[in-house]
């Protein structure tokens, strides 16, 4: 089985937790009556579903850009629910950290694997 990227694993964890946070934010938005209940539930459940399905897509072409677009969407939507902006900023920061740290760890693992596979050939000259 191929080894998974640390960047993908960390990003998947953050996105999965975010899906639960968005669901609970949907409950809060419904309770505070920030908009029409159908709109709140429709958008909240759709956004939670997209967040929970995105980790399966991570690692493919354009998937990290899509995940960043979800982060921006989360920030924009969080203006409608009090205190959700703070939680959104925390999760966007965690997602950013997971992308930077994961990429760094993946590069270090790749460099170590290349270092371990280097062969040293010693040639001697005989007269």
Tell me the pLDDT tens digit for each residue of 109-120.
888 887 766 565
Domain that holds residue 82: 6-116
For residue 126, being part of any structural domain is answered with: no
For residue 63, being part of any structural domain is answered with: yes
CA distance 94 to 14: 7
For residue 123, being part of any structural domain is answered with: no
Residue 47 tokens read as: 């956004």
Using left for φ > 0, alpha for ψ between -120 and 50, and beta otherwise, residue 59 falls in left
pTM (whole model) above 0.85: no
Average pLDDT, the chain: 90
Kindly state the average pLDDT of the residues 78-97.
92
How many independent structural domains does the chain possess?
A: 1
- Tokens 């989360």 correspond to 74
For residue 56, being part of any structural domain is answered with: yes
Helices (H), the chain: 6-32, 37-53, 63-77, 84-116
For residue 1, being part of any structural domain is answered with: no
For residue 10, being part of any structural domain is answered with: yes
């Amino acid at each position: 089985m191929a080894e998974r990227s640390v960047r993908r694993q960390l990003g998947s964890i953050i996105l999965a937790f975010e899906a639960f946070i968005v669901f609970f934010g949907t409950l809060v938005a419904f309770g505070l009556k920030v908009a029409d209940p159908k709109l709140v539930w429709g958008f909240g459940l759709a956004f939670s579903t997209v967040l929970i399905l995105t980790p399966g897509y991570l690692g493919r072409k354009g998937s990290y850009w899509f995940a960043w677009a979800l982060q921006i969407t989360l920030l924009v939507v969080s203006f409608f629910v009090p205190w959700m902006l703070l939680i959104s900023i925390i999760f966007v920061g965690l997602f950013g950290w997971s992308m930077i740290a994961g990429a760094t760890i993946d590069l270090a693992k790749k460099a170590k694997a290349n270092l371990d596979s280097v062969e040293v050939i010693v040639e001697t000259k005989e007269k």
